[in-house]
Amino acid sequence: MTGLQPSQSYTYRYGSDSVGWSDTNTFRMPPAAGSDETSFVIYGDMGKAPLDPSVEHHIQPGSISVVKAVAKEIQTGKVNSVFHIGDISYATGFLVEWDFFLNLIAPLASRVPYMTAIGNHERDYAESGSVYVTPDSGGECGVAYESYFRMPAVSKDKPWYSIEQGSVHFVVMSTEHKWSEMSEQYKWMNQDLSSVNRSRTPWVIFIGHRPMYSSHVGIPVNVDLAFVASVEPLLLKHQVDLVFFGHVHNYERTCAIYKNICKGKPKKDESGIDTYDNSKYTAPVHATVGAGGFSLDKFPRIVLNKWSLSRVSEFGYARVHATRGDMLVQFVSSSTMEVLDQFRFVKPDPARRLRNKPV
């Protein structure tokens, strides 16, 4: 479908007289770039699980509860889009399982834009050009992913892109393609972040799959220090407000951090919510949201990282609402719909400052 307008709803069905027609769906477009607000849900590492006693080669136990919870969020009319940031179906070469997954997320993707980032289980394979030489995609090498999820990417097998919704500029990278300083993707990220108009989109959110910070001790390790050394300086240089990653199957939030050092910590507002004052920007805040369905990763009993401010090992997703001067992030349990962590950012609206500037 083309020519869809921001903030408009469209009723549609698909099929033919010869084979039959689908039920009627209503799809709503997100708000235009530069408008006053937007809301979205974000998670990673979902996969699928059978709704009956069928056996599949990968079963992600939390995927059903997360889909049901997000469907309820969408039914309220307050969700403009969904972001699924890597490790999408875990089909890993069993292509019929993509069909199972697409059927699972139909209540979400048929109603609002379903935006994605590529992960290791979509792309990585030996002699395929992926940064990490693992068998994780089962030989799919990103082909199935790019066929099913047509993102506004640079080109084929260059699945990085940026979009704007409401008051937010989103930058979506691929941690599975080359990201070093001389790479095409790095140069694109630098150029895109340099071009952000903060009067139109005051908030910048950076999205990828593999995290830069994690308190979970994994084998192999969850954090690639070479990736951090190459890309983290871009986030500080361009004053990225918030970073979302997945890959680790839990939820974790940091202070405003750079090179493992807390540059700023939140203060409690009148409601007791951790609040980062980005009118005095210090560094990005990182949130891992890989609790979308795959078996959870537990945290160690003792966490020595002073930068780790909140840790949750439950299935769930982040819910974000951004106006021009405020952005609220909540991590929601998919089983209880309870908010398990929340924090917000505040800053003056740059467009308002320009409007009020004396002449």
Q: What CATH number has the domain bearing residue 345?
A: 3.60.21.10
Q: Write out the H or E segment, with its range, that includes residue 351.
A: helix 350-355
CA distances from 283 to 91, 168, 266, 327, 347 (A): 37, 17, 12, 16, 14
Helix 184-194 with 225-237: angle, nearest 10 deg: 20
Distance CA 234, CA 304 (A): 27
**pLDDT in the model for residue 201:** 98
Range of the domain at 211: 36-356
Does some domain include residue 144?
yes
Q: What is the pTM of this model?
A: 0.96
Locate the DSSP E strands across the chain: 9-12, 15-16, 20-21, 25-28, 38-43, 81-85, 114-117, 161-165, 168-172, 203-207, 242-245, 251-258, 261-264, 267-268, 274-277, 285-289, 308-312, 316-322, 326-333, 339-346
Does some domain include residue 149?
yes
Count of structural domains, the chain: 1
Distance CA 178, CA 183 (A): 6
Does some domain include residue 161?
yes
Does some domain include residue 115?
yes
| Residues 308, 252 contacting (CB under 8 angstroms) | yes
Does some domain include residue 227?
yes
pLDDT, one tens digit for every residue, the chain (359 residues)? 889 999 999 999 999 999 999 999 999 999 999 999 999 999 999 999 988 888 887 889 899 999 999 999 999 999 999 999 999 999 999 999 999 999 999 999 999 999 999 999 999 999 999 999 999 999 999 999 999 999 999 899 999 999 999 999 999 999 999 999 999 999 999 999 999 999 999 999 999 999 999 999 887 789 999 999 999 999 999 999 999 999 999 999 999 999 999 999 999 999 999 999 999 999 999 999 999 999 999 999 998 899 999 999 999 999 999 999 999 999 999 999 999 999 999 998 876 655 555 55
Tell me phi and psi for residue 190, to 5 degrees.
-65, -45
Q: What is the DSSP letter of 240?
A: -
Does some domain include residue 240?
yes
Does some domain include residue 30?
no
**pLDDT in the model for residue 356:** 56
Does some domain include residue 3?
no
